Amino acid sequence: MARPRRLAPLVFTMAVAVAAAITASGAKAAEAAASPVVVELFTSQGCYSCPPAEAYLGKLAGRADVVALEFHVDYWDDLVYGSAGKWKDPFSSPQFTQRQRSYNAQIRKTGGVYTPQMVIGGNRETVGSHENKVEKAISQLTRTAPLTVEVRESGAAQLTVQIDGTGPAPASVWLVRFHRTIETRVRSGENKGKTLTSHNIVTGVQKIADWTGGPLSLEAASPAAGSGQGCAVLVQQAPGTPILGASYCPGARSS
């Protein structure tokens, strides 16, 4: 009489292997679908308390779960610091000051501004050097963005942007250009005599499309190759509102 074959251990092993493969596949899909959290630092080279926040942003700039951007405001440019005088930040812009005011009007319900300030996800803020609070906000916002944004190279100095998901519409698609790393010798003002290292210093924010809901594919010009510049794409209803999705352009994230 033939003995029955012992298939149970084999079936169990195969089931475990399949389950593990499905779990790993699901985890990779979830990771791929996750949109990084946008962290915006509002700062100035004329601000004595800002360098620690800028150093921290430099660390965030290398993380895969964060899009880190540094906006230099202009209201420090005319402040005189005793005999050290005043320092005009070469990267400051009234446009970036207005962006900060828009965030504060929505989040803090005030037109007042301060540096260093970090805005996380477009809807939370804290002092830029308070790393624990920033990390807490990042962890709370991870995987909560309603849209996924993919940016890939599609030719010489050309990018293709793909947006998927559902969220509050309409919104705008913004191309943010930045210098990846720059050192500046400050010769006057509160930071006189210091050499400051800045990361992902924003030089321009340009609206490149309207998003009305549903999938969207579009083309955009990329920064010049080898120029030390990078870019990111944000989807946002208006300055001062939550970020709906974001991504660095290829090669823009610090290693």
Per-residue confidence (pLDDT) for residue 225, from 0 to 100? 61
Q: To which H or E segment does residue 179 belong?
A: strand 171-185
What local confidence, expressed as pLDDT, does residue 136 receive? Answer: 98
> Using 50, 70 and 90 to split pLDDT, how confident is the model at 65?
very high
User: Which has more pLDDT, 114 or 2?
Assistant: 114
What is the C-alpha separation between 230 and 254, in angstroms, rounded?
10
pLDDT at 238: 86
- Answer for the pair 253, 62: CB distance below 8 angstroms, yes or no: yes
Which pLDDT does position 34 carry in this prediction? 66
State mean pLDDT over 189-202: 97
Name the band, by pLDDT with cuts 50, 70 and 90, for residue 197.
very high
Q: Nearest to residue 120, comparing CAs of 60, 80, 190?
A: 60
Question: At residue 26, does pLDDT exceed 60?
Answer: no
Query: CA separation (Å) from 188 to 5, 83, 84?
Result: 85, 9, 5
Higher-confidence position of 174 and 11: 174
User: What is the pLDDT, as a whole number, of residue 35?
Assistant: 85
Sheet holding 229-236, edge to edge: 124-127, 117-120, 37-43, 66-72, 195-211, 171-185, 229-236, 243-248
240 and 172 Cβ atoms separated by less than 8 Å: no
Report helix, strand or coil for 55: helix
Please write the tens of the pLDDT for every residue from 80-109: 999 999 999 999 999 999 999 999 999 999
Q: pLDDT at residue 16 above 80?
A: no
- Percent of the chain scored above 90 by pLDDT? 77
Mean pLDDT of 227-244: 92
Mean pLDDT, the chain, whole residue set: 88
In whole angstroms, give the CA distance from residue 68 to residue 60. 6
Q: What is the pTM of this model?
A: 0.86
Q: Parallel, antiparallel, or unpaired: how do β-strands 124-127 and 117-120 relate?
A: antiparallel
Structural contact between residues 41 and 49, judged by C-beta atoms closer than 8 angstroms: no
Asked if the model's pLDDT at residue 56 lies above 80, the reply is: yes
Domain boundaries in the chain? 36-248
In angstroms, the CA 140 to CA 134 distance is 10
CA-CA distances (angstroms) from residue 228 to 201, 213, 248, 252? 11, 34, 14, 9
Does 142 have pLDDT greater than 80?
Answer: yes
Of all residues in the chain, the percent with pLDDT exceeding 70 is 85
